[in-house]
Structure 1
């Protein structure tokens, strides 16, 4: 008889091993209070692997040498991927009104400079495409710069969605109507769950790659103008927070900006950068 979801749980030892593994691999803390959440997310993997229970998943992972092939799927399952278009909109307004004009003023000697923006925990791409919408509007108006956007995440699932650039229609409510008409494609005959797609002109300027923020080094350019790393560090231990920020700063050009989440403003108190706005820092 199959084990019911109510009776099926990871053993305490297996949950602790998963928590330690995720902490070591991607820096995310999984305290005991997260055990039910982790179990709920792993049930889809159990079905995909045709396993009978969470107990069987623990056996497969740790006692049947399944970890090598399963680790990417485990990371996909337990990482949190909350994202929205125009989340914390003050940052995008600041980017338009202050950060980009300042960065371009620093490069007056260059003809048509390329601004590089990195969404360092891009999830499904809503942040990266929000940045693209703002920069596309600015570039069309100013006609004096180009832009490229890199979205990185540790989860291969969310990166795949970012590359597809297809989103549930309800997600676009925060996008201003003018931008919706310029940058979103709507199906002529929407189905029961309407979806939209980002226009090709924006997709061409946004790339997505897998990157683990816990890696000792990043294969990223070292002249990035703006880095967004918002609402991610709250899941990391303090020592890991400091190490990640230090590595990110190494990839900013002098005068470049790092944007953290507003809930992470205290993380920035140890940053050797100049704070220019809440959770916004400039490399000097």
Structure 2
């Protein structure tokens, strides 16, 4: 369990529907850390209140005391609790230089390296609602040389709700504005609803699964590429060290690791060579 941080009084309750004491927040913070490795600092109290107040209403509870009592070991509410507290900010082709690197450097190198096996494995760890793995899959589909390959993408997330949305591959039109013109051929627009669906041949490249990164991983690997972007910023440094050590073991020799723009491996791992712009290669 995470150590107790210096107490900061809970923000003013104002006209809040429910009272959340600091003891309530500390209890929720510790459960979140134990289950997910996510570190909730004291300034996240308002955010946690807003997300969990919806659960209290749905459950017909009158106080955070009642909700905290509900979060016992093996409680079915723990599943909904995890879904509620996790953050799922994403976009198609976010940090577009990563996908340019796939197209111009990583994919050509892997084609040469794996020509005999014609095998490619990519993992989007923290895939959220699917925009990242679909961006990878579209880039893969547009790259010459993979037509006869056994190429698969694994997309995982802690939140089962966003995994289900990603699996469906249907998005509002405004969510797709960041997709470069060269990849719009992989989209199908429903004229009656305005929704955009990812083309089936692109969807077929991806397997969506719910996965807690801190638990045992069922897959064997090795992966040629791992995307883990804007995930470890929610973990403390010790958890980050363990996670990147596991990624290192799961990557093929010379495999590539992509992390988020606000993340780095300084004082976390020496197992990767920096390629610049939060791109790394296994030593």
Aligned to 2:199: 199
| Contact 2:274–2:280 (Cα < 8 Å) also in 1 | yes
In the alignment, is the contact (CA less than 8 A) between 1:122 and 1:152 conserved in 2? yes
Counterpart of 1:104?
A: 111
Q: Distance in 2 between matches of 1:207 and 1:268?
A: 33
Q: CA deviation at 1:176?
A: 1.4
Q: SS where residue 131 of structure 1 aligns?
A: helix
CA distance in 1, matches of 2:102, 2:267: 18
* CA deviation vs aligned residue, 1:140-169 (integer Å, no higher than 9, x gap): x66453421110111111111011111121
Matched with 1:172 is 176
Contact 2:248 2:271 (8 Å CA) reproduced: no
Match of 2:24 among 14, 24, 30: 14
Q: What is the CA-CA distance between 1:33 and the residue it aligns to?
A: 0.8
Distance across 1 between alignment mates of 2:38 and 2:181: 36
Matched, 1:82 2:89: yes
Is 2:138 the counterpart of 1:133? yes
Per mean C-alpha deviation after superposition, the further-off stretch among 90-99 and 273-282 is 273-282
Question: C-alpha distance in 2, partners of 1:127/1:188?
Answer: 25
- The 1:31–1:261 alpha-carbon spacing in structure 2 relative to 1, beyond 3 Å, is same
Alignment of 1:114-263 (within 5 A): 114-139=119-144, 143=147, 145-180=149-184, 182-190=185-193, 194-215=194-215, 217-263=216-262
CA deviation after TM superposition for structure 1 residue 52, in Å: 2.7
The more displaced of 150-159 and 66-75 is 66-75
- CA distance, structure 2, for counterparts of residue 204 and residue 143 of structure 1: 14
- Root mean square deviation, CA, Å: 2.0
Q: For residues 50-69 of structure 1, what are the structure 2 equivalents within 5 Å?
A: 50-61=60-71, 65=72, 68-69=75-76
- Structure 1 runs not aligned, ≥5 long: none
Identify which range, 269-278 or 257-266, moves more after superposition: 269-278
How many angstroms does 1:54 deviate by? Answer: 3.3
State the aligned residue count. 271
Would you say the 8 A contact 1:226–1:252 is kept in 2?
Answer: yes
User: Counterparts in 2 of 1:259-270, with a 5 A limit?
Assistant: 259-267=258-266, 270=269
Say which SS state the counterpart of residue 179 (structure 2) adopts: coil
| Residue 108 of structure 1, CA deviation | 3.0
Residue deviations 1:58-105 (CA, integer Å, cap 9, x gap): 3433xxx58621111100000111111000000000011001111111
TM-score (norm 2): 0.89
Structure 2 CA distance for aligned equivalents of residues 104 and 17 of structure 1: 50
SS in 1 for 2:20: coil
More helix by percentage: 1
